[in-house]
């Protein structure tokens, strides 16, 4: 998992100043001063992306995981462009280097140039890709066939809690590239919900649930689910 490819995308937003006048004015007090600083907030999130035959999908119900949050306050009237090195240090500390760091700094400088804002947010998403291993591994199939032919083998169901805890995913792939479910041997169509087992094999949700209610072993690689 440590060698999984990583990519970054980002979004930079600028909150503009408003020209609203105060609703109440106290003549006995001096006029309210303008904001003393221009704040730049850096937010880094991580999102796990799964890859199947070159197509991407992610687990449903799982939000990106916050990794790092940094904020820098720039004195009012000081150009954010003069603090590019500070922004560079923050990005470097977040593990962002090279071309992607330069792209983010360039976008910050572009938006900050002659800006009339009071707050800037730099939202960065770290996408970690993991390749799913499916049932085309000949060694897994051969081992599963050998074990299924063992004399005296009696199937033991997986625990209900372990079945309920399995990860639900949605395949976002065209039908031609979708994989077959090894339980029913039918296609897992794009947009349908499937279950990814801890061993990374993917099945129709109904198929693998029914299977695990009888046997605690993955149909392909014989991965052992918890059992009584």
Q: Which two tokens stand for residue 227?
A: 């059992």
User: What is the reported pLDDT for 209?
Assistant: 93
Task: For residues 190 and 101, give the distance between their C-alpha atoms in angstroms, rounded to a whole number.
Answer: 35
Q: Give pTM, 2 decimals.
A: 0.49
Please say whether the beta carbons of 12 and 119 come within 8 A.
no
Per-residue pLDDT of the chain (228 residues; tens, 9 = 90+): 445 578 899 999 887 765 554 455 454 545 444 457 788 999 999 888 776 666 666 655 567 788 899 999 988 778 888 899 999 999 999 999 899 999 999 998 888 775 666 788 999 998 887 776 655 555 666 666 666 555 455 778 999 999 999 988 887 754 334 467 888 888 888 778 889 899 888 888 999 999 999 888 888 888 889 987
User: What is the reported pLDDT for 27?
Assistant: 47
Task: For residues 108 and 104, give the distance between their C-alpha atoms in angstroms, rounded to a whole number.
Answer: 6
How distant is the alpha carbon of residue 48 from its chain centre?
4
């Amino acid at each position: 998992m440590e060698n999984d490819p990583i990519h970054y995308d980002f979004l930079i937003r600028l909150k503009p100043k408003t020209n609203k006048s105060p609703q109440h004015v106290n003549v006995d007090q001096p006029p309210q001063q303008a904001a003393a600083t221009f704040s730049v907030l850096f937010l880094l999130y991580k999102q796990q992306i799964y890859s199947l035959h070159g197509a991407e999908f992610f687990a449903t119900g799982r939000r990106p995981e916050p990794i790092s949050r940094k904020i820098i306050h720039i004195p009012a009237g000081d150009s954010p462009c003069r603090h590019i090195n500070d922004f560079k240090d923050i990005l470097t500390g977040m593990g962002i280097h090279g071309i992607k760091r330069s792209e983010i700094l360039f976008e910050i400088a572009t938006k900050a140039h002659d800006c009339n804002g009071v707050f800037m947010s730099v939202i960065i998403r770290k996408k970690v890709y993991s390749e799913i291993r499916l049932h085309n591994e000949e060694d897994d199939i051969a081992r599963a066939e050998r074990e299924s032919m063992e004399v005296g083998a009696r199937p033991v169901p997986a625990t209900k809690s372990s079945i309920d805890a399995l990860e639900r995913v949605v395949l976002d792939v065209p039908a031609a590239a979708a994989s077959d479910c090894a339980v029913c041997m039918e296609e897992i169509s794009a947009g349908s919900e499937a279950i990814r087992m801890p061993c990374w094999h993917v099945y129709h949700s109904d198929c693998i649930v029914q299977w695990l209610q009888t046997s605690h072993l993955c149909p392909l690689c014989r991965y052992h689910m918890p059992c009584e």
